[in-house]
Amino acid sequence: GQSLEQPSEVTAVEGAIVQINCTYQTSGFYGLSWYQQHDGGAPTFLSYNGLDGLEETGRFSSFLSRSDSYGYLLLQELQMKDSASYFCAVLNYGQNFVFGPGTRLSVLP
Amino acid sequence: DGGITQSPKYLFRKEGQNVTLSCEQNLNHDAMYWYRQDPGQGLRLIYYSQIVNDFQKGDIAEGYSVSREKKESFPLTVTSAQKNPTAFYLCATALAGDNEQFFGPGTRLTVL
């Protein structure tokens, strides 16, 4: 089977940098994605890592290491609007997605 | 406007009744997915379809059924066999082989 683990909660202050980790166990997958979900809303796509290394998109960066079965999402210059839940997900060879349990980020003033 | 429509946003049903949740898309995406989300939890895959007239079970398909008669539509029926149907249901689409999913606004189902 496939499983992903994330910390349940992370708290940081405005302007800070925060890293949300994702470890996984999977037999095979194309890549690791990250989604953001505000309370009551739908998830929105943030980034994707098909290859090992760092991908940067504005204030958000994502990293993947297949040898360590590990990835992370890095959020810089935190803003209040970044308070949300963040999910990692793998795209497996069956062309479907398996999601992690999510990390709730609280940004304090 | 291109996008994914799920209706209604809130749905109430009595225990023992079947209910069908609508998902329509005009993004011309081949793949469509149904997820269930319980409070404070991640997304669990119910069913997915890569092509018209074909679909596969996800991790929690028991008590649910789907159809894919048109590319644009992927309705989900929550049957009376589903023991705990109260949840937030999300429909998603993707281009074939693509890594990005697009989500609809969701339907919050409450069974009384």
Chain B partners of A90 at a C-beta cutoff of 8 Å?
Answer: none
Q: What does residue B74 show for φ and ψ, rounded to 5 degrees?
A: -145, 75
Q: What does residue B72 show for φ and ψ, rounded to 5 degrees?
A: -80, -15
Distances from the Cα of A73 to the Cαs of A64, A83, A103, A104, B57, in angstroms? 9, 14, 11, 13, 30
| pLDDT value of position B34 | 97
Q: Is beta strand B43-51 parallel, antiparallel or unpaired with respect to B54-57?
A: antiparallel
pLDDT by 10s per residue, chain A, length 109: 678 999 999 999 999 999 999 999 987 888 999 999 999 999 999 999 999 999 998 999 999 999 999 999 999 999 999 999 999 999 888 778 899 999 999 999 9
pLDDT by 10s per residue, chain B, length 112: 569 999 889 999 998 899 999 999 999 999 999 999 998 889 999 999 999 999 999 999 999 999 999 999 999 999 988 889 999 999 999 998 788 999 999 999 999 8
| pLDDT value of position A96 | 83
**Token pair recorded at residue A49:** 């890592």
Contact A87 B43 (CB under 8 A): yes
| pLDDT value of position B83 | 87
| pLDDT value of position B90 | 98
B18, B80 in Cβ contact below 8 A? yes
B101 Cβ under 8 Å from any chain A Cβ:
yes
| pLDDT value of position A1 | 67
Chain B: residue whose CA lies nearest to A100:
B42
| pLDDT value of position B30 | 94
* DSSP single-letter state for residue A95: S
| pLDDT value of position B81 | 87
